[in-house]
Structure formats: structure tokens, C-alpha cells
Chain A
Amino acid sequence: MIKRFFVVLMRSIRPPADRLRTVAVALAVFAIMNLSWAQGEAEQELERRVKAAFLYRFTEFVTWPEEHLPDPGQPFVIAVIGPDNIADELRQVVAGRAIHGRPVEVRRLSDEGGLATEHIVFISDSARRRLPQIIRAAPREALIVTESDGALAHGSIINFVLVDGRVRFEIALDSVERRGLRLSSRLLAVAQAVRTGPP
């Protein structure tokens, strides 16, 4: 009941269509910009935005074990390890939205030190060096999302890649199973590549 009320409240504050339109416009702009093959500051910002939007959309296609989800009313936590700007971007995306019926909280961390009960851990490319440690330190049922080449080998579940200037992602199914999560086959269908085990 409370949850429901919460959802309705959030909606009334900011209708979803508006935000979705924002995302779509962003996508379109991003696609056009990519044609230039220039990796300027503007392009990087767009890429950040798309990744933030994807991060949020992933939750629709991932199922966490019910016992691992926070109690109703408690926030669904997304940890962002890396620069501030991507966390800010993500905060904008999730503002007023719920994930699996819970309010969303975005926590920025500089390293694995503060990891505790997160459900998604996004590790920015800037933390590439400490990637294995961070992944090992992450909670067992956390969805690990990275943006570094070869990250899947270290235990990442979803790794963003750039294909023809578009943001795509690859998925490691073996890691998904290890962490006790379930991914929708529809997500697998749009993945750039699906890894089922160590090569």
C-alpha cells in the first residue's frame, strides 16, 4: 500500500513520458553526433548519459532474488565507482522513479572501501586498475556493470562497449549464474555478445 502510494506520488511529481522523451532525444542526438567520429567533450557527455539511461533500464530485465531485495520502503542502491559526473547523470535519470517497487539511491564511491549492500555496482573505466578487487569486494548478488575492455573476464556481468560509435554491451552469463541473478532473454537478444564461460 505504502509502496503503491509512493509510486503514484513519484509519478505525479514528474510524468514518465517526459523523462523518456528526454532519453530518446539524447539517444537521437548521440547517434547524430557519432557520425563525426570525434570524441570531444560533448560526445563523452552524451555517452555518459546513454550509459546512465541503460543502467537504469537494465533493472527492468534483471531479476534479483526476492530475499536480496531491500525491504519495502528501503532504497534500492546503485553504487557508482568513478567520477562524479556519471553518478550525477544517473541521479537525474532515476530521480522520481522506482526500481522493483523501491525508491532508488545512487551512491558514489571512490574505491571498494565503502561497498556494503548495493544491488548494482557500476565501475567506471577510471577505476580499471582496481577492477578485480572491487568486483571481489562487491556484494554477492550485485549486478556488476563495467566499461572496460576485458572486464567480463574479471567477473563483470555487463560490460559497455562502443560499436560504430554506438553504446552497446556484452554479457557474461557465467557470472550472472554465479551471482544468483536472472537475466531476461530479451536483454540477451540485444546484447552485442554473450559470454557463457571462460574462453
Chain B
Amino acid sequence: MFEQIQKSVRAKLLVLMLSTTLVALIVALFVLAIYDVRNYSEKWVGDLSTQAEILGRSSAAAIAFDDPQTAHENLNLLRVRPMILAAALYAPTGSLFATYTRAGDAADVFPESPLADGITINGNQIVLFKKIVESDVLQGTVYIRAQYELLDRLLDYLGILAMVMVLSMLAALLIWAWLQKTITKPLKDITDVARQVMESRDFSLRVNKTTDDEIGYLVDAFNNMLAEIGRGADALLATDRMKDQFLATLAHELRNPLAPISNALYLLNQAGDQPEVAANARRIMARQLKQLVRLVDDLLDVSRITTGKLVLKKEQIELGRVIDNAIEIARPLIESRAHRLTVDIPERAIYLNGDETRLAQVFSNLLNNAAKYTEPNGAITIAVEAAGEDVLVSVTDNGMGMPSEILPEIFEMFTQAHISHDRTQAGLGLGLALALRLVEMHGGTIQAYSAGIGRGSRFTVRLPMLLLPASTAPEPMSGGQTACRAQTVSGGGQQTGFCLEPGGPSPR
């Protein structure tokens, strides 16, 4: 029983209500009873004394002049006080002078002579003697015997207490039932849902809000927390799935180059006196090794970035050279897929404060992606243009493009828009994430655009330019390597590029 009360808010509330009502009632009635009994006793005694005094004084002459008739008349006036049972007057000599008994009562037995002044309470009767003294002379004595209903009053009080108790307990129960609806019922709802959630791990459960008070607020907060936890759990699940997928991809990517390498090794062993076969085998092995190295490098870079260990070697660099380096890195893939590359770089040299190798990595990633996600014989353009204090480098292709809904996530690690794409070409989904971090470390931004699947893509990198005083700016045309500001690289090694230089177009 006690344990049950301990565990249930409802039971506690009930006990609380009933006990407070009970205590309040008992205390109130107890105090009232004490007050009333005291009051009653004081009042009644005072009343009787006054009565005796009046009776005595008005009967003094009757006693003095030996007139029991008048004394009787005086005593008979007491009939208006039915609480007075009997009364008597004694002459100064002590003899009984006149008596009175309440109408209807049997004639009383009166004390033969008066006792000393005072009040005696005898059960439920009170007896009073009072001497009548006028100008120091004893005129007689008054005797009054009356009802004293202290016990009756106490019993009355007990009766009232019992009645009030029953009524107020009923009221308390009613209030409890009501409270139970508005407080404990919603509380119980919350508890029930909480238990269900704990058992089933279903965060989509919600508590029904029935009140607008603090409990209603609690319900809202509880529901919000459930939603929050649900979202968190979903996100965790998604990340978990991505990790699994990444692991699969990684294993696949690492495994991919191994088969060609072991094949090449076998060929190399069998080559014997066929030097072309051996050379071919070595070439295959070299290419696959390079692919492996690149994979491992990307992984290393990612881990460096996530642990904050990647440090940029920042210096004043020329954007043209960076882009040349990037093209050089991507050239094998572009050529192998017979894409046409257009390079559109303004004549004026543009300087940046940055890490040349890392920026080249950014652009080569973009170019590699363009080559990879474009069907062979596609067209790729890398263009540079100044925009205020920034420079915009964009890599555009006419390849597969991306669905617009994936664009916001494309720079997140492991995100790949073309899962079903030919796995031999697939990467780890790290290239764009790396590019974004590197660009950000240079104080720039990167954005992806695509009109949709099959409609090509464009990636734009915005970097702050280094504004040099004219005198310190190196001569842009000093080096021959970047002389050509626009060039086209075609898969077939055909040179269709042209130079916008004053010196006229120079083939490359």
C-alpha cells in the first residue's frame, strides 16, 4: 500500500488532499470547541450570577417584611429561563423562605440552609449560592440550580465534526477527481509515452496535449525533445550508412589497381625477349601505382584537414602558373577520354597569396572531375576572370551534370552523385570536400552549378586577388610557359590553341 502511494503521483495527490483537509478540519473544530466551551461556561456562570443578584435585590424587601407571596412572584419570573431548574430564597436567619421549581418538574429537594457563596458544577448541573448584602447588612441568600450542558455541547461538536468531515472528504474526493483529469492524467500520458519510447525506441511517438498550463508546456517540451532526438538518431544513422558506403568504396578503390598490377607482373615475367610487352606491362603498373598513390594522398590530406594538421605554405604566386600545373596533372585523364580543353585566361598576370601546390590540387580536382563525369569527346573549359578585388576561376563541362537537389551537399565528404557510375572511374567522394577546405583556407569560396542530369556542370572558385603596386609587379610576359592565355588541348594531341598575345598566336 505504502509502496504504491510512493510510486504514484495520483495517490500522493489524493493522500495530500485528504490529509490536509482532515488536519485543517480537526484543528479548526478543536479550536472552535475549546473557544465555545470556555465562552459558554464563562457566559453561563456570569449570567447566573447576574440573575441571582437581581433576584436577591428585588426580593430583599419581601424577606425583610416577611412577604413570601412577593418572593414567590419574584421567583416565578424565572419560568422564562427554562435552563434554570430550581431556585430558592433563604432568610438571613438561614431558613428557607421561598422556593421555585421549573414548571413540569417534580418538586425539588432544597438544601436546608444556604452554603457559602460560590458555584459548584455537578455533572450537567450547576449550583449557585449568593448572599444578598445591602449596606453591609445580610438580607438573605439566593440559591439557583441550572442545567450545565458542557458535555452536550461537546457531543454536538463531535457530531458536527463527523458531518463536516464526511462532507469535506466527499468534496476533496470530487476535487481530486477533477485534479486527476487536469494534472495527473496528462502526467500519466507523458509517462506512458516515455515508457513506450524507451521500450520501442520509436521517436516518432507524441504525447497528446490536453491542457494549456505548465503540464501542457511540459508536453510540448517533451514532444520537441522527442523530435530532436529522432532527428539526431536519423542523422546518426545516415552518417553510419555513409561511413559503411565509404568503407566499401575505399576497399574497392584500393583493390581496383591491384588486378592490373598483378596481371602486368605476370606479363613482365612471361615477356622474355619481347621488349614491347615488358614496356607495356611496366606502363600499366606505373599508371595503376600512380592511381593508388593519389588515393592514399587524398586520404592523407583529408585526415590532415580534419585533424587540423594541414599547413599552407603561403607566398605570392601567379594564378596562370597554378592553372598550368593543374592542367598538367589532369592532362592524362583529359587526353585518355579525348576531351577538348579550352583555357581562357586574361592576358594580365594575376597574383594571389597562397600555396601553389594546394591551389593546383584544387583546380586539378575540378578538371579531373570534369573529365571523369563527362562522356568521352566532351568539351571542358577552364576560365579566369577578375571580379572586383576577387578572381573567379570556373571549370565548365558538357557532361553528366547533377540533380539540383544534390548540389548543396556535393562538397561534403563521401558525397557522390553518380553511385551507379562506372566504378573503375569512381573516386572516394573526397575531391570536392578537399577542394572546398583548401579554398576556404585561402579565404575564398567555391560553388557548383548544374542545369540537371546530362546538362553539364560548372564549378566556380572565387579567390581574393593580391593587389600589388605597379613597380613590384613582375613582368607577366617574362616566362614563355604562360605566354598563351588561351589554349585548347585535344585528346588527339592536335594543337588548335591560339595566343592573344601581341606577338601573335603561338602553337603549343
Contacts and interface: CB of A to CB of B under 8 A. Distances in A.
B70 A189 contact: yes
Nearest to B91: A24
A187 B91 CA distance: 17
Contact of A186 (B58, B92, B138): B58
Given A54-B65, A60-B134, A166-B66, A186 B91 contact: no
Name the prevailing secondary structure of the A interface residues.
helix
A186 B60 contact: yes
A61 B64 CA distance: 10
A20 B138 contact: yes
Given A57-B65, A60-B134, A24 B58 contact: no
Interface residues of B, number: 19
B135 interface: yes
A189 B58 contact: yes
Interface in B60-75: 60-62, 64-67, 70
Interface in A35-70: 50, 54, 57, 60-61
A21 interface: yes
Contacts of A167: 66
B70 A25 contact: no
Which of B91, B93, B137 has its CB near the most chain A CB atoms (within 10 A)? B93
B66 A27 contact: yes
B92 A20 contact: yes
Nearest to B74: A189
A57 B93 contact: no
Contacts of A7: 136
Interface residues on A, range: 20 to 34
Nearest to B97: A24
A186 B58 CA distance: 6
Contact of A21 (B60, B62, B93): B93
Given A16-B138, A60-B135, A190 B93 contact: no
B57 interface: yes
B95 interface: yes
B92 A17 contact: yes
B92 A190 contact: no
A52 B378 CA distance: 162
Interface string B88-123: 000111010000000000000000000000000000
Given A16-B137, A184-B61, 10 more contacts: A7-B136, A25-B93, A31-B66, A60-B134, A60-B137, A61-B61, A61-B64, A168-B65, A169-B65, A190-B64
Interface of A: 7, 16-17, 20-21, 24-25, 27-28, 31, 50, 54, 57, 60-61, 166-169, 184, 186-187, 189-190
The 10 A-B pairs at the shortest CB distance, nearest first, are namely: A24-B93, A186-B61, A190-B67, A57-B64, A20-B92, A190-B65, A190-B61, A190-B70, A190-B62, A21-B93
12 contacts: A20-B93, A31-B66, A50-B66, A57-B64, A60-B135, A166-B66, A167-B66, A189-B58, A189-B62, A189-B70, A190-B61, A190-B65
